[in-house]
Amino acid sequence: MSMIQGKTGEWEMVIGLEVHAQVDSNSKLFSGAATDFGAEPNTQVSFVDAAMPGMLPVINGYCVEQAVKTGLGLNAQIHLRSVFDRKNYFYPDLPQGYQISQFLDPIVGKGSLVIDLPDGKTKTIGITRLHLEQDAGKSLHDQSPTSSFIDLNRCGVALMEIVSEPEMRTAEEAAEYVKKLRNLLRYLGTCDGDMEKGSLRCDANVSVRKPGGPLGTRCEIKNINSTRNILRAIEYEAARQVEVLEAGGKIDQETRLYDAGLNETRTMRSKEDAHDYRYFPDPDLPPLVFTQEFVDNIRKTMPELPDQKKERYIREFGLSPYDASVLTAEKQSAEYFETVVKGNDPKLASNWITAELFGRLNKLGKSIEDSPVSAQAFSGLIKLMGDNVISGKIAKEVLDLMIESGKSAADIVSEKGLTQITDTGAIETIIDKIIAANPDNVAAYKSGKDKIFGFFVGQVMKETGGKANPAAVNELLKKKLS
């Protein structure tokens, strides 16, 4: 799976990702203008953002804290001194004519991110750096047949560019990396991770090589806006490169655009080198300098992060690594689990959240935040099962009814008379009746056809409307049939 099969043998993918994460902050990186999403065009633009002559940028301390916090979450080196540079290029929606970014001295240096693989294993991906930079505005070409418009609301919004080492080897690993990074940012509260609104954007650098060979030339794919498209874009691009190389061609280092509609990548421009941007330190901004104490204070505000939570769930609740990573994959599902698990069996709680609840939410197209069944209510359902008031089978029905009606599990069970029959006398009576009515099957079972046992269980369940306690049914049936 991890290798691409070409005509000349196997090829290995090499992937490095650049993620642009919008800093969760009410105001922009160098101005006090607001950052609300979806505001009327050009209503959140200060003179600084519009690059009026003589305006001076002033660094937003909160954005600096957010970047440091993210750096700590990535186990990265925090640089107490960093420098803002001008990266020069022309975009119609970038009135300054340059972007203020960080080049040689970023605020955050080397770190790492642990990604969870489907087989329960993990892999550590190196983080090269995280730097702060401003976003550009937006050109609107679809508002009028004859003109283009420019909206500068996004201009100057703070971004963290998070660059990984080229250490991913499959498209799945890359998708996992983005998922995990997004998850981390959301735990930290430093970026809302909303890919649809463009708060998290991903560029994928892809090359291919013969296993163990030197790194190939990479192409950078821009414009990937969902985890699904990350998978598809990378797979397409790697296959394209293999085809070019096997036909005797060579890969040009370039920036390509992913077209989700056609599922293909196309040349956008040949890749600039850093020197094309004429980076130089922004003369309007002194180096950014802060103390170790500033960093330590931020460290004190760090919440429990997904990896720590996962470890704790394994240790404290005895969950499997897989279940623990599913539950901690979103802060909200971890919170949900932690409410449900209070006073309940952890494994039962975990299984029912990951299988039954998530399955139903998926069908409804809802996330755990807007689950129609609250964690409190779900906890009530698990409790009824744990106390043997209802069987798992009945619990599934009850859960459906909870979603439909918004009623509590206990109310539904008492209204519908779903309480499990644990009275062995009552179950025995039913079993006797079934045995008497099916002499052929009894004989077959006794002659060694073990499978017939299931028939008897089914009959008892049918007779009791699924309410008989399954363990009691099994035990009594075995006794009566032997």
Report what 443 binds from Mg ion, ligand ADP, none; CB cut-off 5-8 Å by kind.
Answer: none
- Among 20, 103, 110, 165, which residue interacts with ligand ADP (rule: CB under 6 A)? 165
164 binds ligand ADP (CB under 6 A): yes
Residue number, nearest CB to Mg ion: 18
Among the residue ranges 159-167, 242-250, 360-368, 369-377, the one whose residues contact ligand ADP (CB under 6 A): 159-167
Cβ contacts of 338 within 8 Å, gap of 6 or more: none
Would you say the C-alpha torsion 220, 225, 227, 233 has a positive or negative sign? Answer: negative
Alpha helices in 189-320 (DSSP H): 227-246, 292-300, 306-317
Smallest Cα–Cα separation from 322: which of 113, 117, 112, 115?
Answer: 117
Spatial separation of the C-alpha atoms in residues 186 and 174, rounded to whole Å:
18
Cβ contacts of 188 within 8 Å, gap of 6 or more: 69, 70, 73, 302, 303, 305
- Among 218, 232, 309, 383, which residue interacts with ligand ADP (rule: CB under 6 A)? 218
Alpha helices in 17-60 (DSSP H): none
Closer to ligand ADP at the Cβ: 164 or 391?
164
70 binds ligand ADP (CB under 6 A): no
- Among 3, 50, 163, 257, which residue interacts with ligand ADP (rule: CB under 6 A)? 163
Spatial separation of the C-alpha atoms in residues 109 and 127, rounded to whole Å:
8
For residue 285, the 8-state DSSP code is S
Closer to Mg ion at the Cβ: 219 or 373?
219
Q: From residue 110 to residue 149, what is the string marking binding to ligand ADP with x (rule CB under 6 A)?
A: ----------------------------------------
166 binds ligand ADP (CB under 6 A): yes
Q: List the interface residues with Mg ion, window 18-77 (CB under 5 A).
A: 18
Among the residue ranges 57-65, 161-169, 321-329, 446-454, the one whose residues contact ligand ADP (CB under 6 A): 161-169
Cβ at position 112, least distance to ligand ADP in Å? 13
Cβ at position 196, least distance to Mg ion in Å? 23
In this structure, which long-range contacts are made by residues 258-266, counting pairs with CB atoms below 8 Å and at least 24 apart in sequence?
258/221, 258/222, 258/223, 258/224, 258/229, 258/232, 258/233, 260/225, 260/226, 260/229, 260/232, 263/232, 263/236, 264/236, 265/219, 265/221, 265/233, 265/236, 265/237, 265/240
205 binds ligand ADP (CB under 6 A): yes
Residue number, nearest CB to ligand ADP: 16
Kindly list the residues in this chain that would bind ligand ADP in the complex (CB under 6 A). 14-18, 163-166, 205-207, 215-216, 218, 220
